[in-house]
Amino acid sequence: MPLLTERGRTSIAPWLSVSRGTEALEYYTAAFGAQQLHFFANESGQIVAQLSVDGAEFWIADDQDSSPETLGRGTVRMILTVEDPDAVFNKAVAAGATIVADIYEDHGWRVGRLCDPFGHHWEIGKPTS
């Protein structure tokens, strides 16, 4: 029997380790329009938050030891499929992301790749066919 979320469906939600949780929360809200589904802050100000971008859920947490900034490399590449990848890509860059690859079309996708201010890589795109 599959494990079910409270919404009654199986899901996988990435957990992004960051070294500056509050800044990450502000970035993902500004860049992708993320909404908070769950939030916890301890007495030191470190956070854990569950976020949703149009129903696509992920988590962020202050975990400096596992963050790409500390490790010196990314640990996961996120793929965000949206209706207007150009607009989302440009909004993310305006919010502070670094372009890894400009938007292009290849292999049936319109896609671009960026690195967020916390070291996580995001491919923003949609299928073209």
Encode pLDDT of 42-81 as tens digits: 999 999 999 999 999 999 999 999 999 999 888 789 999 9
Range of the domain at 118: 15-127
3 in a structural domain: no
What's this model's pTM, rounded to 2 decimal places? 0.88
Distance CA 67, CA 110 (A): 29
**What is the domain-level CATH number for residue 42?**
3.10.180.10
109 burial via Cβ count (<10 Å: 0-12, 13-18, 19+): middle
1 in a structural domain: no
Please tell me the total count of domains within the chain.
1
89 in a structural domain: yes
